[in-house]
Amino acid sequence: MISGLIVYNVYDAKCNRFFINKCLELLNDETFSLKYVDEEKLLEYAATNKVDFVIYRGRNYRLLDELEENGIRSFNNVLTNRVANDKYLTYKVLKEENLPYIETYLEPKSFPCIMKSVSGHGGQEVFFVKTIGEVNQIKTEHPNLKFIFQEFLENNGDVRIYVLNKKAVVSIKRKSQVDYRNNYSLGGEVTLFEPSQEMVDTATKIASLLKADFIGVDFLLTKDGYKIIELEDPVGSRMVYKLKPELDIIKQYVEHIKKNI
């Protein structure tokens, strides 16, 4: 029996029961056994139980470091998790590859601009700032966060390309009518989108670079073309099932996992 775990932190697990239950349904059979474990208990569980693989849906790459040192295969791997969950590291890695990531700084270069924590997700810890006073106030209110700054670009929404096994499988455009953030979780409207071949090639190149199993690559649509704004690991599936449920992207992910353990 090949034994695996699906792992979230307690808070995120409450919002992702569909993903968890779908994986449990598909990965418990005569060959595979899958169990849910809270992130906080992961290492303790792995130390005392047989674990062959982990579907890790958290953002602490140090946990994956320990698992991989013990020969436990993780989906995604530690490199993907580390790069995708540090926006400044994402910028540096992709800039070295001459990929069109939006220019990113550790201090504001001009105003207005977008101020983000390096570890935020889902549109959280993102601020539209107009003055250095606003920047300093936010830093005071969030003393434990590290921030980056990006030029504010007028845009027509953003696009997430879902890349599974280094192949683009679906693309979704998000556009907010009420906020500078286009996130679906914050009320952004979502539609299926046909990306250019250049965007697809960029997204799959990133997945290959990181050896990622399943990620989202987010692009901002500007009047001058597209800019990469961030990578998503773990990438959610709610938008996909809303717009294209027949794709069954979680099932495709599980099939990929079964073939790569």
Residue of 128, 123, 152 lying closest to 236 (CA atoms) = 123
* Same-domain status, 146 and 170: no
Residue 80 lies in a domain: no
Dihedral sign, Cα of residue 210, residue 215, residue 219, residue 225: positive
Tell me which residue range forms the domain holding 46: 2-75
Band of pLDDT at residue 81, cut at 50, 70 and 90: very high
Residue 70 lies in a domain: yes
Strand partners, 231: 217
- 249-259 and 17-26 helices, crossing angle to 10°: 50
Mean pLDDT of 129-139: 97
Residue 36 lies in a domain: yes
Say if residues 70 and 222 touch (Cβ distance below 8 Å). no
* Same-domain status, 161 and 235: yes
* Same-domain status, 126 and 171: no
List, in sequence order, every beta strand (DSSP E) within the chain.
Answer: 2-8, 32-38, 53-56, 73-75, 104-105, 113-117, 126-129, 147-151, 155-164, 167-175, 189-192, 214-222, 225-232
Residue 237 lies in a domain: yes
Say if residues 250 and 22 touch (Cβ distance below 8 Å). yes
Residue 221 lies in a domain: yes
Q: For 34-79, write each residue's pLDDT tens digit.
A: 999 999 999 999 999 999 999 999 999 999 999 999 999 999 999 9
* Same-domain status, 38 and 109: no
Residue 214 lies in a domain: yes
* Same-domain status, 144 and 203: no
Number of domains in the chain: 3
* Same-domain status, 146 and 174: no
Q: For 185-202, write each residue's pLDDT tens digit.
A: 444 689 999 999 999 999
Residue of 225, 105, 103, 237 lying closest to 164 (CA atoms) = 237
Phi–psi pair at 238, nearest 5 degrees: -60, -40
User: CB 223: neighbour CB atoms within 10 A?
Assistant: 8
